[in-house]
Amino acid sequence: MGMSTSQADGEILVEINTTPLIDVMLVLLTLLILTLPIQTHAVKLDMPRPDQAPPESNTEANIVELGVDFDGTITWNGERVDRDTMDTKLFEASKMKPAAEIQLNPNRLAKYDAVAMVLADAQHLGVTHIGFVGIDQYN
């Protein structure tokens, strides 16, 4: 295990052989890796039960097309609106029964600030059904 040599001046040089030490450490590391519990990454989803009836289709869905143009212009169902008018309409849409579905379609050249402002206003006013449409333009 140990190794000793002598130098030219007659002094004995003692060095330890580290190869067996490294081998033991590698075996211990391998055993540690094998004995660690496997981490499972699970996403909790509330799935419908098979015996439940499908949800009723809403034929009277209120769909609103909300657009943000490249220059920050906001459109509500194709009609230009300012921010105050948009806030009023978002508030009215949040109070509708059934809730209106807001389909946000930002132009691919629209600034992030303008889109984030629209989303923040919608969240602040209580809009719960909002989604992005037209995202195929980003491919």
Q: Following DSSP, what letter does each residue of the chain receive, concatenated?
A: -EEEEE-TTS-EEEEE--HHHHHHHHHHHHHHHHHSPPPP------PPPTTSPPPPP-TT--EEEEEE-TTS-EEETTEEE-HHHHHHHHHHHHH-SSPPEEEEEE-TTS-HHHHHHHHHHHHHTT---EEE--GGGG-
In a domain, 57, yes or no: no
Domain hosting residue 6, numbered range? 2-35
The pLDDT, as a whole number, for residue 8 is 64
| pTM score, whole prediction | 0.54
In a domain, 96, yes or no: yes
Query: Which pLDDT band, with edges at 50, 70 and 90, does 64 fall under?
Result: confident
Query: Which pLDDT band, with edges at 50, 70 and 90, does 57 fall under?
Result: low
The pLDDT, as a whole number, for residue 132 is 87
Same domain, 19 and 69: no
The pLDDT, as a whole number, for residue 82 is 92
Bigger pLDDT: 87 or 52? 87
User: CATH no. for residue 104?
Assistant: 3.30.420.270
- Statement: residue 42 has pLDDT above 60: yes
In a domain, 7, yes or no: yes
Q: Region 88-108: what's the mean pLDDT?
A: 87
